[in-house]
Structure 1
Amino acid sequence: MGVSVMALAQIKSPYEFLPTYGKQITHYHQVEEYFNYLTTQTPYVKHQKYGETSEHRNLNVYYISTPENLANLEQIRLQNLASIGLAPKNSATVGDKLIVWLSFNVHGNEWAGTESALSVAYELANPENKTTKEWLKNTIVILDPCINPDGYSRYGNWLREISGKNTNPNKFDREHAEEWPGGRYNHYIFDMNRDWAWQTQIETKQRMAIYNQWMPHVHTDVHEQGYDSPYFFPPAAEPQHEFIEAYQKDFHKLLGKNIAAKFDANNWMYNTSERFDLFYPSYGDTYPMYNGAVGMTLEQGGIRAGREITMENGVNLTIKDRLTHHKTAVLAVVETSASQIEPLLKGFKNFMNNPRTQMKGKYATYILKNNPKLNQLADLLKINKIEYSYATEKSNASGFNYFTKKDENFSVEPNDLIVKVNQPKAVFTQILFEPTNKMTDTLSYDITAWNLPLAYGVQGYAVKNALNLKTKNVAETASKSIPKTVYAFYVPWNNRTSAEILAQLHQKEIKVRYAMKQAVFGDVTIEPGGLMIARGDNPKIADFENTVAEIVKKKSDFATISSGFSKNAKDLGGENFPLMKAPKVLLLSGNGVTSTEFGAAWYYFDEILNYPVTIVDQDKLRNVKLFEFNTLVLADGRYNFSDADMKRLNEWINNGGKVIAIDGALNVFDGKDGYTLNPYATDEEKQAAEKAKKEKELKERFLDSGNEERRMLANSIPGAIIENNLDITHPLSFGLGKKYYSLKTGDKIYSLLKGSNNVAYVPKNYKSYGYIGHDFGKKLPETVSFAVESKGAGKVVYMIDNPLFRAFWENGILLFSNALFLVN
């Protein structure tokens, strides 16, 4: 159905369409209604639903351009991909078009973003706005008004419920004190702005699928920050990754001048080149930058502002102010982009196609040795459109060993995973795999290392030359035939799939044993941690072979044995194979618990394992019958247990309960009677540390204040990878390998515990990747990262580092699974 001429001249603005626009938060369904209105009333807007959230809200993008461009959208998309080798070339062309992607509200409570998206869309689509129509002649705008509808709706429902008829700008009003866990995060309380590369969340997976189908040339990520902060726009701060190109930085400078002129004309406060850097690869500005686009962050002051708040300077900040600032800046992005089509397209194609530009690091090939954990690593490469293959023959090579940090000779063998730099996603490939990412400044906003071989716990090598290897697209797996009679099934314990299978077996009440030491049955070698499902333990399963095979088949390395008699005196019915008990898990939430770390644990149980977990707010713990559970998970946070709570907890542990305590939750046991957890091994060590601290404070009296922030960095670790020695005989280490590389994001340090199992600890001359403060680095040797203390019949698992951090540290997921299932 066509759009009438009258309609074209009378498009309603969001102020006309929505009665409370600019005064109160817009319901998400109203956001969709307004965009639906624009889609039906003007030929300049086209809608695509690209997915759903965990709470089944729509994820939408809106294409805004001229009717002619919208009619040729698919051809424009394919032509762009073909220009960088990600699609076949087609003889028919429609002329180069610039693709500008606008993303709003990845953080749900930064709601001025979505509000401004309505005004931005109106100005771009309004036929009476001749200026924006000029921009759109050769520009496709892809507008995502709300990346995080679940968080936005959580915040919006709360704000509307507690809002009065009149605004109250007093910062102590409840409108400015959002309740736990807040609307910043998605359904599983993840910060999706840190998830672009890892794509652990359903919203990110679906969004990145369509992003990689388009590969835009400019991407704008619209945010809010503390309400007293002036507006931030590019240029970005240092550190900026050395792989970022000059054309990207040049555009930032040009854009900054353009936005500044518009803000100056209105006397609006702003800053550039501060705080928001371009280093960590999983942000909404860096991921586009490393994929050839010009990515950027826009930040308006507004978090905790509610509808109106009085700032430090005495000026009241309203929602209308915030959305207007955003609208102005975002439209300036489109305007500047449209004026720079030629240099942007040239820079983008050069970034993706030019061998000189692509080969930025030291290495041309990355080899990942055959390992069951490669399944998850291959999945990550696939969703990021990074090409990889598998070796089909044996060959000798020399390269950098990620685990030893040395150049070594090694053998390439069939089914080793091969990643070549020479591919369209060359730069992003190097960002993920280069052993060392150079930092131009230590004031980083996020973690500073993310080496994939270490994150996944697979042996990896970086090779300087392009190896001439015969490869195949899919790894070979031997087909399995199930014997008519099986004594027991064996499932190796070596990746997250092992834990997923065990979770399913427990829920089906199928009895499982696991190996404490290596055992050999015929030609099958059982490694420590290996799961054994024996017919003798499960006499009530009528069709034992088919029932168990159906569950374990998702692990191609499962095996069967025909006898419980072992070749090395480790028979299946002996003490080497204890029966496992199904965890009955209690997870605490609520005020005091770090919301994202709670979310990581919840996501682990709900989405990774699909295993039942009971969630209770910590202030309701007194109402819980603890003896209905055998496992208590305490995510990072502040736990204010009463003396009565602690007495009950101690009794429960002594009677067989298990606590898994992470990061800040260690304070529940730190220095408490009956527990060995302590930052210092001896009183002398504590006194020496206190003496050194006092001496340092005396020296610092003479130092200037201007460099105070940088001096603080010397005793910090924003996020680095640290080598750990493993006690490979302890169940907490099973399946991890000979070494464990931990992602350390906090400054907690504990001495090796006395009378406990120090399963993973930092050796004297530890290896590391990423930034570690000079003073902090000196404290790390011979400190514990993961330990297990026995108390009565129970256990406490101490996790100084969080192995579930952002759900992308695959070897950490296995470590946590060890704590959950194997430590008893």
Structure 2
Amino acid sequence: MMIDFHEMGTSSTYYFEPTKPLSTENDLIPRATYEVLNVHLAKYHAQALDQLGALYWTKEQFDNLSPIYGSTYPDFQGGVGVTFEVGSSRGIAQEGGNGVVKFPFTIRNHVATGLATVRGAVEERELYLRHQREFFSSALTAAGKFPTKAYVFGNAQDPTLTNRFLELLLQHKIRVHELGKTVTLDKQTFEQGKAYVVPAAQPQYRIVHSLFEEVTAFHDSIFYDVTGWSQAQAYGLPLSKQKNTSLVQGAPVTVAKTLTGTVNGGASSYAYLLPWSNYNAPKALVALQQAGVTVKTAFKPFRAGTAAQPIDFGYGSLVVPVATQKLPTDSVFQIVSRVSRLAQVTFTSVNTGFSVGGIDLGSNNVRTVPEAKAALLVGAGTNVAEVGEAWFVASQHLGLPLSRIELSNVGRAPLSRYSSLVLVGGSYAALDKAAVEKIRRWVTDGGTLITLKNASEWAIKQGIVKEKLLIPANGGWADTTAFAVAVAEATPPAPKATQRPKKSELPFAKRVDFVEQEQEGTRAIAGSIYKATVDPTNPIGFGLANRQLYIFRNGTTFLRPSRNPYATVVQYTPTPLVSGYVSRANLRQISNSAAVVVSKAGTGRVILFADNPNFRHYWHGTDRLFTNALLLGPLLNLPEGPSIVAAEEE
């Protein structure tokens, strides 16, 4: 039994489950959870609040659909989760639609329902214990009816993320096996010792299904939160679903590997190399630079000859030359060794710059990475959650300090000390003309502006870049630069004909029942998963060798692919929906639109994200794009390329 205590708007009273039947409930969960257990507990909750004379409501607004909810997650474990929402007192007291809500009042209601939950569980414990026993036996039955019999995952080039996902599975007591032999499935190679097999038929089938499977069929079209929750896509790992049981399974896995960093080949007097494909490679880069080591990155792949055998290094691979450092040779080795352990990555030492294949280590395509100095705009208007997510990825994952600048202080802030400036989703209306102009000058003087979601719209509308948005209102590509918007606003409407308009043209809105306003929620994108293609040769796409990328979207910023063919780093596919709900109109907007665009501005550049790549710091497949933007963005010198004019503009 798990209770999830929450606050909601002050003018709301009190909410507890059950949720709206069927439409907001998960089909994987036994109906008894919703129709028997939740209803049973609701009687205890209602009785407790009735005795206090407190108002409450059920079966509206909140859904019980996604396993990422605190109250739905226990349902996937054979338990029962309960959500309580109380009108917030925001500390001590707050005035709302039901009078002044005080802190003791909100605490009293939560305590009353919490104790009622315990009382209901104790008095009917046999009911709940029987449900738990039946839950796991019915899971095996459900797995037997499902076509997928096993899931294979693993990325030989990224042991960090592979191991992290394995740890997640083992934490949930999911049965996992080593892959018995190297195989090629769905045009992907899974290497023995670096990939794993998860059988579907196991007591934790429902959690396994939620981690790996996509869902696009729902009973409703209005949701409180995320509708695309599969984790395999979030980690960006190669995955294959197998419909037969002939796959060779190795030994059961009970403990994840302990990753230890090392330097293969030992000390070198020439250079150390690190593939950028490892999720922790950016962390290693930051640590090396903070220790005073100069680091370069390869803009083209190469094959290095090592003492053991030739090794391929892809786009973005790090090169640490020894002779050109300001540090002694042995100090460089000590730092590289320490960083390898810190980031749990494997460096390779080489004693020659002459490559077996591809570019040599002294090529102009091996460029020095400047040490990142980044800042983040925060304050009124910015999305607090996205601010926290961006800060966490930078400071906690990378170890990169991220200065925070209040919107009200932009005019006084020394932007020149920063190489990158991050704007997350939200409103930037608080920035006056002087502040906007200051940011514009900073970009054109060589700065790297990184914008997410609405901030990308803001940068386009302010004319900081010449890219365009796809406007949902007219369904076509629209010119939304500041100049175009100003012209449109200043242009008087064309005179209308003098004849009497037809009845169908009368300027009256079609009558709609007031209650139907709830349907406006169908226009929102609560949180769903989409397929896109990435350019792995662009620095923003370095390390993502697989051109296919899964993106989480919970906003309605639609970017037009750039006219510069080199500038669209990530683009949604023609049929992008993978998992979750999206309206047909929004799906048309997303199809073929740009997810990440790099735009030149003077000697600087703006990196526009249509979405939030850092969502809740579990979308590791896309937060690599963000870390690349922070660390490698300043290296981008975008070629102009031939101008491509969209067909609809011809």
* TM-score bracket for this pair, using the shorter chain length: 0.7 to 0.9
CA contact (8 A) 2:448 2:607 kept: yes
Distance 1:696 1:500, change over 3 A: farther
Aligned mates of 1:227, 1:420 — CA distance in 2:
47
Shift of residue 472, structure 1, vs aligned partner: 5.4
Larger RCO: 1 or 2 (CA < 8 Å, sep 6+)? 2
* Equivalent position of 2:361 in the other structure: 572
Equivalent of 2:610, from 800, 803, 810?
800
Matches within 5 A, 1:430-469: 430-436=209-215, 438-466=217-245, 467-469=247-249
Q: Are residues 501 and 745 of structure 1, via their aligned partners in 2, closer, same or farther at CA, if it must alter by over 3 Å?
A: same
Confirm or deny that 1:623 pairs with 2:437. no
TM-score by length of 2: 0.84
Rounded to whole Å, the distance in 2 between the matches of 1:500 and 1:697 is: 62
Q: 1:492 to 1:700 in 2, by over 3 A?
A: farther
Q: CA deviation at 1:557?
A: 4.6
Name the structure 1 match of 2:28: 243
1:429 to 196, 208, 215: 208
Aligned to 2:337: 549
Structure 1: tracts of 5 or more residues without a match? 1-217, 402-407
Matched residues, percent identical? 24
Which shows bigger deviation, 592-601 or 646-655?
A: 646-655
Contact preservation (8 Å) 2:64, 2:71: yes
Render the CA deviation track for 1:402-425: whole Å, top value 9, x for unaligned. Answer: xxxxxx898774421222234443
Q: Residue 16 of structure 1 corresponds to which residue in structure 2?
A: none
For the 8 Å contact 2:72–2:81, the answer to whether it is kept is: yes
Other structure's SS at 1:247 match: helix
Paired position in structure 1 for 2:590:
780
| Partner residue, 1:378 | 166
Distance 1:575-1:412 versus aligned 2 partners, 3 A rule: closer
- RMSD of equivalent CA atoms: 3.1
CA contact (8 A) 1:368 1:461 kept: yes
Distance in 2 between residues matched to 1:647 and 1:794, nearest whole Å: 14
The whole-number CA distance in structure 1 between the counterparts of 2:132 and 2:242 is: 27
- Per-residue displacement from partner, 1:298-355 (whole Å, max 9, x unpaired)? 1122254x53444425x44333333332232222211211121111011112223452
Q: Within 2, Cα distance between the matches of 1:332 and 1:415?
A: 49
CA contact (8 A) 1:495 1:814 kept: no
Structure 1 residues 342, 653: closer, same or farther in 2, change over 3 A? same
3-state SS of paired residue (1:547): helix
For 1:485 and 1:526, locate their aligned partners in 2 and report how far apart those are by CA, in whole Å. Answer: 18
Q: Is the 8 A contact 1:606 1:612 kept in 2?
A: yes
CA distance in 2, matches of 1:754, 1:363: 42
Alpha-carbon distance in 2 for matches of 1:409, 1:628: 45
Please tell me whether residue 741 in structure 1 is matched to residue 550 in structure 2: yes
Please tell me whether the aligned partners of residues 281 and 345 of structure 2 are also in contact (alpha carbons under 8 angstroms). Answer: no
- Structure 1 residues 436, 698: closer, same or farther in 2, change over 3 A? farther
Task: Work out the number of aligned pairs and report it.
Answer: 592
Q: Which residue of 2 aligns with 1:528?
A: 315
Which amino acid in the other structure matches residue 195 of structure 2?
A: D
Matches for 1:341-740 after TM superposition, within 5 Å? 341-354=125-138, 355-356=140-141, 361-371=146-156, 372=158, 373-394=161-182, 413-436=192-215, 438-466=217-245, 467-471=247-251, 473=253, 481-522=264-305, 523-543=310-330, 544-553=332-341, 554-568=343-357, 570-639=359-428, 640-673=430-463, 675-680=465-470, 685-686=477-478, 701-713=510-522, 715-736=523-544, 737-740=546-549
Pairwise CA distance, 1:712:
4.2
| Structure 1: distance between partners of 2:272 and 2:479 | 55
Does structure 1 conserve the Cα–Cα contact (< 8 Å) formed by 2:300 and 2:314?
yes
Q: SS state of the match for residue 332, structure 1?
A: helix
Alpha-carbon distance in 2 for matches of 1:685, 1:601: 30
Cα deviation 1:574-601 (Å, max 9, x = unaligned): 1110111011111222222211111111
Structure 1 residue 552: deviation in Å? Answer: 2.5
Alignment partners' CA distance in 2, 1:645 and 1:231 = 43
Q: Does 1:290 align with 2:76?
A: yes
Q: By how many angstroms is 1:637 displaced? A: 2.1
C-alpha contact 2:446 2:603 (8 A) present in aligned 1:
yes
Structure 1 distance, partners of 2:520, 2:414, is 48
Structure 1 window deviating more from structure 2 (527-536 vs 325-334): it is: 325-334
Judging changes above 3 Å, is the alpha-carbon distance between structure 1 residues 432 and 569 closer, same or farther for their aligned structure 2 residues? closer
Aligned partners of 2:607, 2:13: CA distance in 1, in Å? 44
- Aligned equivalents of 1:312 and 1:540: distance in 2? 67
2:66 to 272, 277, 280: 280
Letter of the 2:555 counterpart: G
Contact between 1:363 and 1:434, CA under 8 Å: does it hold in 2?
Answer: no
Q: Encode CA deviations 1:521-571: one digit per residue, 9 max, x unaligned.
A: 221222001111111332523303343133225445532222111234511
* 1:680 positional shift: 4.5
- The one-character-per-residue Cα deviations of 1:621-679 (angstroms, maximum 9, x if unpaired) are 22222211111111222223222222222222222111111112224412333521321
Which amino acid in structure 2 is aligned with residue 222 of structure 1? Answer: F
Asked if the contact 1:390–1:471 (Cα under 8 Å) also holds between the matched residues in 2, the reply is yes
Partner of 1:97: none
**1:389 Cα deviation (Å)?**
3.1
Cα drift, residue 760 of structure 1? 0.7
The verdict on how the C-alpha distance between 1:758 and 1:699 changes in structure 2, with shifts beyond 3 A counting, is farther
Distance 2:452 2:505 in 1: 30
Residue identity opposite 2:174 in structure 1: I
| Distance in 1, Cα, partners of 2:478 & 2:106 | 50
Provide the rounded CA distance (Å) in 2 between the counterparts of 1:418 and 1:320. 52
- Rounded to whole Å, the distance in 2 between the matches of 1:396 and 1:521 is 26
Deviates more, 1:566-575 or 1:523-532: 566-575
Partner residue, 1:336: 120
Partners of 1:365 and 1:391 lie apart in 2 by: 11
Distance 1:746 1:757 in 2: 22
| Equivalent residue letter for 1:618 | L
Task: Decide whether aligned partners of structure 1 residues 456 and 256 sit closer, same or farther in structure 2, where only a CA change above 3 A counts.
Answer: same
The 2-side partners of 1:362 and 1:700 are apart by: 49
In 2, Cα distance between equivalents of 1:766 and 1:484 = 47
Counterpart of 1:307?
A: 92
Structure 1 range deviating more: 385-394 or 274-283: 385-394
Task: Confirm or deny: 8 A CA contact 2:177 2:250 kept in the other structure.
Answer: no
Name 2:501's counterpart in structure 1: none
Say if 1:395 and 1:733 are closer, same or farther in 2 by CA, change over 3 A: closer
> Is the alpha carbon distance of 1:797 and 1:332 closer, same or farther for their aligned partners in structure 2, counting shifts above 3 Å?
same
The one-letter code matched in structure 2 to 1:729 is T
**Distance in 1, Cα, partners of 2:627 & 2:184:** 36
| 8 Å contact kept, 2:154–2:190 | no
Q: Secondary structure at the match of 1:271?
A: coil
Aligned to 1:750: 559
Aligned letter for 1:342? E
Over 3 Å counting, the alpha-carbon distance change for 1:437 and 1:425 in structure 2 is: farther
Q: Would the aligned equivalents of 1:669 and 1:675 in 2 still touch at CA under 8 Å?
A: yes
Alpha-carbon distance between aligned partners in 2 of 1:396 and 1:686, rounded to the nearest angstrom:
44
C-alpha deviations, 1:356-388, integer Å up to 9, x for none?
A: 266675433211033313122123224444342
Q: Deviations over 1:78-117 (max 9, x none)?
A: xxxxxxxxxxxxxxxxxxxxxxxxxxxxxxxxxxxxxxxx
Letter in 1 for 2:300: K
How many angstroms does 1:496 deviate by? 2.6
Specify the SS of the correspondent of 1:277. Answer: coil
